[in-house]
Amino acid sequence: MKKSRDVYILFSTLILFFLVNIFYLSMGWLDFWGKGLGIVTGAAFTLAMYSFLYKDNPVFKIAENLFVGVAMGYWIIITWFNILKPDVFETILVPIFKETGTPPQFTILIPTLLGMFMLLRFSKKLAWMSRWSFAFIVGLGSGITIPNFIHAFILKQLTFDSLIAPSIPVSINNFLVLLGVVSVLIYFFFSVEHKGVVGGISIIGVWFLMIAFGASFGYTVMARMSLLIGRIQFLIRDWLGLIQ
């Protein structure tokens, strides 16, 4: 009974969507061969995604799977044109067979080979070769992380602002910042039981954390609402033309 109602809703929505588009196209409000077809496609995908709000349904699943596929395809093609083609194909392969004015850079063979080894992760027999590539990348990443993080996120973040500033509000704020940083660090200190003074400071740390999470909460609500506003703007401006 319930299922048949869902099917009914699904089909009437689809029919309504087609009717609206046919109406718009025939009235010339949407220009089919120009941007019109693209806008209709975009509106279709937007509405298909929102159909999840009613409940998980086939239209949403088809749209989502198509999207996942397209995004992967786009990633592959962009990687070809932006990385593999200029950095590998045109620096090694092309100069070997064609006079391009620059000799082939054979040193690039090393990362190319390591890159190909990486793909052996899926082979049962040769998976161990992929470890060389991962070791290279992960070792490199770890090595550059350590000193740069110490510099940018520890030394630069330790600010020693005087607690006696020219104005009282600034002094109070400087004190609160110090208290906040120290108490939060103490909250994440696991080698001492949170009792007595340490316990007290760690409770202050929790307050600071909660205010900060409140700020994040507010901002996240703002972010999601902004995304929705953008999509509704698309629907009623670009598709339906209700606003300019």
186 binds another protein (CB under 8 A): yes
Q: What is the DSSP code string of 205-227?
A: HHHHHHHHHHHHHHHHHHHHHHH
Applying CB under 8 A, among 16, 19, 185, 241 the residue interacting with another protein is 185
Based on the number of CB atoms within 10 Å of its own CB, is 49 exposed (0-12), middle (13-18) or buried (19 or more)?
middle
- CB count, 10 Å around CB of 48? 22
Q: How many CB atoms lie within 10 A of CB 241?
A: 12
Considering only 71, 96, 200, 241, the residue that binds another protein (CB under 8 A) is 71
Is 32 a binding residue for another protein by CB under 8 A? The answer is: no
For another protein, which is the closer residue by CB, 30 or 186?
186
Q: Using CB under 8 A, pick the residue from 12, 22, 221, 241 that binds another protein.
A: 221
Helix (H) or strand (E) holding 13: helix 2-26
Q: 44 and 17 in contact (C-beta within 8 Å)?
A: yes
CB of 111 to another protein, least distance (A): 4
Nearest CB to another protein, comparing residues 7 and 135: 135
122 binds another protein (CB under 8 A): yes
- 148, 160 contact by CB (below 8 A): no
Nearer to another protein, 4 or 156 (CB): 156
Among 139, 168, 196, 241, binds another protein (CB under 8 A): 139
Q: Does 156 bind another protein (CB under 8 A)?
A: yes
**Tokens of residue 29, six digits:** 């409000």
Does position 204 interact with another protein (CB under 8 A)? The reply is: no
Task: Report residue 196 CA to chain centroid gap.
Answer: 43
Q: How far is the CB of 26 from another protein (least distance, A)?
A: 21
Q: Which of residues 83-112 bind another protein (CB under 8 A)?
A: 83-91, 107-108, 110-112
